[in-house]
Structure 1
């Protein structure tokens, strides 16, 4: 079963048009097409939309990884720091998270967003996530 089927994106991500694009090494790559819901100044992505893509890509990477090792947690942000490196232009943007440390109670991730050239990210994020007990069902 794909990450998209197992972990549907939250309503906020769907409202921006964020979608699963593909998997790389078992980790989801999320994408968003340029449009009115993500536009800031004319023909450029809004910083909040770019941040939303980064955050959702980080959570997607962490959820898939935790599921793969049989761990269930409720994820809560400790902090998220976004670095805007260049203006996102009016074309699709992609993002993928990478876990740099996975502990018992928290996880650290780095997320990159790019457009044409993955070696030239538009923005990056560092995420520190608390992994609490699973929510009651």
Structure 2
């Protein structure tokens, strides 16, 4: 085998269609665009969602409700998860970096502690928000809630 004898695999290379190069080419005349109409003309472009004058889908489908642009999305962490972490790590202070290190939240998340489960250790928890039941359970166990 030599460099000058290398060729692409059989059938892997195709010639491009030479459109509009005379009647003898088989692709002259209408240049594969069909006969007349807007689509055969140069400069034709159709608006996105245009359905030939029929009422477009995005206008047929009813709209309702609204998106609240001031809504704050929280990442929920329940007390049973915190209790399991406390037992496995023996930590008494849990902050955002601790939750991030254990894969519960990501960098841009806001944390809200919710009240599912029970907590038996006195733990100081730093979070952006607490539900009422979660806060009372943490205080009852001798812990402390710190809002970020």
Which of the two has higher C-alpha Rg? 2
Same fold flag (TM > 0.5): no
Q: Which is richer in strand?
A: 1
TM-score tier, shorter chain, comes to: under 0.3
